[in-house]
């Protein structure tokens, strides 16, 4: 038992304080204005109805985002059932000259030292914005598989089934996406703070 006093449910205040964040996340993930608005409405209604279950272990913002996240994942599970076809070229992902003949990295392509500790980096103002932009810059189908795994948190098996791809393809797609994202962050985020 904790002594934390949980305030009265106030969906109007939640809307005022967190409505824009919830809507922005729904838009980011769904890319549809009306659907995003509906998701926010459903989230606030569900939160209000279930407020008795809120134990105050997380902030209201975290709780509301979790409810919205679960709703989005449910929707994406249904909507993402579209088979993808990747060519061998799509799956390669290696940059010319990146590796030597023996498969060892050529140092000019090696990962640079990032100037801040990762946890400190995430506190810096534009980190999240650049991360979002770098995810958006991934090739369309690669980015979709990446979002399902890393942002929505779906399992390997579930994504493979939804997208009609084998596990080996899945791992190559994710390897490529992560490599692209890391490289994009290095150029656009680390580059800015590398002094």
Partner 1 sequence: MKLIERLMFLVIPSCRETQKLQSKTLDEKLPWLTRCSLWMHCVMCGWCRRYGKQLKFLSRACGDLPECGDFEKDEALPEEAKERIVRCLCEAEAGGKEVASADVVDGAQEH
**Which residues inside 14-33 make contact with partner 1, applying CB under 8 A?**
15, 19-25, 27-28, 33
Out of 135, 138, 148, 162, name the contact with partner 1 by CB under 8 A. Answer: 135
User: Does residue 187 belong to the site contacting partner 1 (CB under 8 A)?
Assistant: no
Quick one: which segment of 64-72, 80-88, 137-145 binds partner 1 (CB under 8 A)? 64-72
Applying CB under 8 A, which of residues 7, 32, 58, 124 lies at the interface with partner 1? 58
Q: Any contact of residue 65 with partner 1 (CB under 8 A)?
A: yes
| Ranges within 103-132 binding partner 1 (CB under 8 A) | 103-105, 107, 110-111, 113-114, 118, 121-122, 126-129, 131-132
Selected range binding partner 1 among 75-83, 84-92, 137-145, 168-176, rule: CB under 8 A: 168-176
Task: Indicate whether 181 belongs to the interface with partner 1 (CB under 8 A).
Answer: yes
Distance from C-alpha of 41 to C-alpha of 35, rounded to nearest angstrom = 10
């Amino acid at each position: 038992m904790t002594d934390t006093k949980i305030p009265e449910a106030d969906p109007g205040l939640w809307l005022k304080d967190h409505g824009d964040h919830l809507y922005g996340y729904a838009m980011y993930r769904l890319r549809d204005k009306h659907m995003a608005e509906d998701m926010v409405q459903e989230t606030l209604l569900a939160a209000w109805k279930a407020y008795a279950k809120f134990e105050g272990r997380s902030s209201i913002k975290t709780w509301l985002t979790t409810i919205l996240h679960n709703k989005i994942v449910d929707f994406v599970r249904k909507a993402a059932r579209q088979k993808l076809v990747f060519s061998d070229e799509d799956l390669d992902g290696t940059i010319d000259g990146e590796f030597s003949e023996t498969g060892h990295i050529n140092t000019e392509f090696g990962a640079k030292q990032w100037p801040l500790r990762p946890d400190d980096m995430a506190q810096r103002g534009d980190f999240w914005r650049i991360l979002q932009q770098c995810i958006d810059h991934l090739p369309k189908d690669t980015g979709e598989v990446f979002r399902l795994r890393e942002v929505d948190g779906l399992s390997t098996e579930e994504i493979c089934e939804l997208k009609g791809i084998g596990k080996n393809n899945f791992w190559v797609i994710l390897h490529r996406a992560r490599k692209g994202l890391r490289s994009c962050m290095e150029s656009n985020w680390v580059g800015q703070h590398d002094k």
